[in-house]
Each structure stands twice: as C-alpha cells, then as structure tokens.
Structure 1
Amino acid sequence: MKNKVFDASEPVGGNEVLKFGPVDNARSVLDQIIQDGARRMLQAALENEVEAFLERHSNKVDEEGRRQVVRNGYLPSRELVTGAGTLEIQQPRVRDRSPEADDRVRFSSSILPPYLRRSKAIDELIPWLYLKGISTGDFSEALQSLTGAPVDSVSASTIVRLKEAWTKEYETWSSRDLSEKRYAYIWADGIHVNVRLEDQENQRQCLLVLMGATAEGEKELIAVRDGYRESESSWTELLSDLKSRGLKVDPQLAIGDGALGFWAAVRKVFSKIREQRCWFHKSGNILNKLPKSAQPRAKEALHEIWMAETRENAYKAFDRFGEMYKAKYPQAWECLPKDKEELLAFYDFPAEHWKHLRTTNPIESTFSTIRLRHRKTKGSGTRQASLVMMFKLAEAAAKKWRRLDGH
C-alpha cells in the first residue's frame, strides 16, 4: 500500500508519514511537538498530584458524608520557563470546606511551588551565562535563544543573590579541612586582572592560584588568594594557611615560573619538596632576548631539550643550545644554565607524568578562561568579586581537567 503524505498538523496513525518540508520548518515543528509534550506531561503530573492529595483526605467529611477537601477549578494560568521552552500551565486548585479555619488543610504543590517561574535547568543556566560574561541585560535574549521562547529579564537582585551564594561557597571552601589530603605535585602561578570599582591604586589585582594532583592522579584546585605574584610573603601566607588546615605531608614536586616569590616561600613551608621550573615561561624569557629572526630555530632547540627521551639526551641538547647561542646571544643563554637542574627535575618522576610536570599549563588553561571573561566584562567590580569569580571559573574548568596519565 502506498504511503499517504500528510501535513504536519494532521494526526498520524498506521503507515502515515509526516512531510515537514524545509529543514528549518521541520525543526520548528519538532520544537513545538516537544514543547507541547512537555506541557501535557507537566499538566498531567499536577492533576495526579492533586488527585493523590484529595484521596489522602477523602475520609474528611461533613455530617452528611460529603467530602470537605475538594477540587475547586484552576488557578489563573501561569508561564514556566523550561529547557523545552516556555510552558503555559493551569494549576488545579483545592478547597477545604471545613467550617473551622484551624481544621482546614492547605494544598501546596511540590512539583510547581507558588512562586516558581523557571525550572531548575534554567536556574542553573543563569550562573553559567554569568560566568561566561553575559551581562545582566542580555540574559533574556540569551535564554530565549536557548529555550526558543520569550523569557522575562533576570533581575539585578537575582545576580546579587548569586554572588552572595558564591561568596559563601568560596569562604567555606577556603577554610575547608585538608588533613586527609596528600598531593604528589603542585602547580603555582598568579594572574593579573582589572578591578573596575576600586580606586586607581587598586585597579590591578593579582590572584595567586595553587593546583595539585593527588597520588591517585586527580587534579584539584587547592587555593585561590589575593596577593603579589613575586612576593615571598604573599606565597608564605598562602602555603602556611594550607598547613594550618591540616596539609602536613610535603608534596613531592612543585612546578612554577622562576620569577615567582613562591620558591622562597615553599622552601620554608615544605622543606622536602623538589622544584621544577616551567618550560613555557623559561622558553618565553629566552626567546624574548633573541632577535625575531633567530627565535624559530631557538624554539626548536629548546624543544629538543625538554622533550628528550632521557636526562642524558636532555643534557646533550642543553650543550648544543649553548654552542649555538652562548657566544652570540649571552643574555639569552644565561637564562638557561642558572636553572638547569630545576628545569630537568621532572626526569626523576614517572615518564607518563612528564608532560604534566614540564609546565604550568594545567593552571594556564584556567587562566585563559578568566582572561576571556574579563575581556568581555572589563573586569570584576571588586577584589573580592575577582577572587570568587576565579574560584567559580576554576571549579567549572576542573570538570575537564585530565587525570595524570597512568591512572
């Protein structure tokens, strides 16, 4: 039997086939079907919830045996913004006809509380959009693009409450107990950001960030703190705070830029730790001291050092670099031998971990996220807001952090 082709608005049954026409129209029809299905399911759930409530109170009757708790039509229709679009819902109303007010029971829907206007999925989108740098005024348009239906604008008070909740999260996280933590490796770095609402002197802020990898290979954010990147005292405060909260076992290796005040601090606080200089920062420092014409070949020569399969081969590549650049570019060369052993410390650890230990890239990937957001928003309003934002962005980025190879 030949298939019959119907318009999308006709009911379907048997071997009938829907013909939607152009792809955009098909998508529109599909969205409408999904939205209507979601509305019907929610409406049915509300009806069932009311029926169950009425059944629980069916023994509540008057002297003539009539039920006291009964259906009483519907509340005015309301709109609910969901991931399937904006749904228009009619919520059943319940009435208790008991003469005594103290004896009456009230029905309150657990599915659709009185003041709920957005589903949890949409509420979870709001902080995500804010983290991505969407301004409060653009939330409505962004949510409409995601749900396919008009959405009331998100009030400034919603964002204020969001920031307050995040601040409490950050404060709780910053004082958490660390006595059960054991970190094999830690990465340290700092990032400078703009602060819009501070006075001129305080409009540049440095966020100190410490990240770790456990013995099981899991990478974790350890600390985010206000301070000075090159300051020994700033890093000492950060590391000492970790010890005071129970981090008693020294990590095996610390990775960071040679210019950090972190190194003097970590030697005091974790005296047994080994040091690994970041090859990304070191290479940048060396290349900046060379003419541009010499940089591509020098970059390859540096790469041959830290990508060598053995320490012995790395030493040979190190010497070759000296032969090529020591005489002609002494300033560039001098950057390298002073940190020779600290640049090659990673060779004393499992080979599958080397690519994680040569650089501070695990932190840099998170820094790129916060730089992007700050470019969009021209910085956070206050220093505290920057700290909290860094914490939340790193928390979001952590979901994509790779475990150490071999775990």
Structure 2
Amino acid sequence: MFRLLRPLGRSVTYTRWLHLFIGCVIFGIWQFVSSDTNWVPFLFVALAGLLPWTRIAEGTQARLLLAPDGSVPIATQPSATWADRGRTSLWMLLRLGLGLGTAYLSMHLVMVSVDLVRVAAGGHADPEALLTPPGRHWWYALLAPLPWLVLAVGVVLLGRLITALAVVLLGPSAQERLAALEARTEQLLERTRLARELHDSIGHALTVAVVQAGAARAAGSPEFTERALDAIEETGRAALEDLDRVLQVLREPERAPGGSPGLDAADRLLDSARASGAKVDAELTGPLERLPGAVSREGYRILQECLTNVLRHAGTPSTAAVRVRVTATDRRLTLDVANPLDAPAVDRTTGSGTGLRGVRERVALLGGTARTGPDGDEWRVRVELPLR
C-alpha cells in the first residue's frame, strides 16, 4: 500500500499534473469564444506544432515539469526536418487530449467525493457530477476518500504516460543524437590532446629539473650549478606557460590563447637538452616556419618527448649523445632522433611507455608513420608526417 502511495510524495508527480493542465488551457480559453466549435483548438495546436520553434518551447517546458532531474532525454532544438515537425504536431494533439482528460477527472472525482459527504449528511447530489449516489445513507461518508485515491492513481499514471510520450515525440532525432555523439567525441579527443600536451610539457620540465639538479650535485662546481639553475628556471617557466594555456582552454574554450609552440621554436628544446649535459648534434633543414600549424605543433611535441626520453633513460647526462635531424620538404616532415644504446632503457625495448604511445597517437592522427626501437647500436625514433 505504501509503495503505491510513494509517488504522491514526489514533487515531480504534481509538476506533471500541472503540465497536463497547462496543455488544455487553450481549450478553456476557446470555450469563452465559442462552445460549438470545439475542434478549432485541436486544429490550432496541430498547426502550431508544425512551426520549428514550437519544439523549443514544448521541449523546455517538458524538461522543467516532466523530468526536472534531467533523467529523460528531451530535445530543446527547433524542428530540423518535417519528421520532427510531424512528431511535435502529434505531441501537441495528444497533450491537449490528455490535458482535457486530466481536467475532467480532477474536477468530477472531487465532485463525487463532495457529493458522497453531502448525501450522507442528508443533502442532494449535484446532477452534473460524474456519479450520483442513489438514496441517502450515512455510510456514504466512508466512501468519500475513494474518489481521491482514484484521482491520485490517475494523476500518477497520466504523468508517466505523458512523460513516455515526450520521450518518443520530443526526444532527440537520429540526426540530433548523431550530432551530440560527434560533439562528445570531439570533446573527448580535445581532452585527450590536452592531456598529451600536459604530459609532454610537464614531463619534459620535470625531467630536465631532475637531471640538472643531479648533475649539479655531482659536478660540485658553482659555475655548473648556476647554469643548471638557469636551465631549470627557463624550462619551468615554459612549462608554466603551457599549463596556463591548457587550463585556459578547459575553463573558457572560446577565449583560449594561441596554440602551443611549433618546430620553429625547436632551438629552445635543443638548448634545454644541451644545458642538461647531453651532446646534441642537430640538423634542421627546410622551411620549418612555413609548416602547417598542426604538423608544426605536433612535431614540436614529438621532438620534446624524444629528448625527454633521452634525458630520462640515457644514464649520465654528460655521456648522452643525441643526433637530431628535422627535414621539411614540400610533401613531408621527417624527424629522426637517435642516441647510443649504452645504458639500460626502462620501457624502450617493449615500446609500451606512455611517451612513445603518445608519439604514435600524434602521428596516427596526422596520417603519418612512426618507427621506434633499436637500430644497430642506437635507439632510434623516426617519424614522417605528410604535409598535404
């Protein structure tokens, strides 16, 4: 019994009741104009449903009153196709019909309850009531709560019915669901890209800081310590700029600052690696400043990850020899980074490291190729990115 009455304690039951009443307001207004042409309100709402913007008003009202918790998928966009307009028009007709039924039951069941009490007290029943109690019996008063119970059950069932119809008739169409899925996919891809950038940028800065601090302690030279602190400061400042940019994108995408650095700023990475003690032999050729934005940015991050891996896994920084070749032509960009395999590499032989996986993901998004692994006595990363 209590389970059946539980919906009566929920506010959504009464907001749905209100929604059903609002649906038949136009019918009540028309009764003051003409009571002989009751078909006019139905024609009016059917035609109104064909207007694209009607779906916005009906969807918004249904969301607020039928499912205020957002648990029901109801669209609030204008009708984009005639199928959407037809569904909205049918919704308007059904809403008007169910609203009239709800108003009729609400009014007459209350009248029946009042009549039962009136007749039990010796009065007369209303002849226009839905049911007229025969005779006059005192025990009719005991039946007075029954119409209210029927009304409560009817309100709950009609509310669930109108909500189910809203899902079918006002729910997102296949095109809208596809558009929402694409938008969600784009959002996830953007977050993944930002996560990769944070990994590369912050990981590079921390690696440089750790390597520089260890080398300065081992060297015991004030001059070397001064250079190490300068390198840590410069790298940390660049990482903070990247972090601020990424956080700005997450907070306010429409007001986000410019993109991440490109390969035309590769000297900053090379100088940072050299300041960490690595012997970097770099060869940068081609019009790097004229590379497409996406290729230049991803190429910068790939080079950054390669140098970070070298500093992280090549043992003593002063013994790390790195050969970097970046070649840009009219058709492709080639990055070739190699260093001797003279120290154990934690995750290189398996190729399962997060950094190398990020490199492959970046390359795959741009339709390029990436080869990573031992090549003779060197560990080599060779990436080719198409420019067209």
**TM-score normalised per structure 2:** 0.18
> Higher relative CO (CA 8 A, sep ≥ 6), structure 1 or 2?
1
Greater strand share, structure number: 1
Whose radius of gyration is greater, 1 or 2? 2
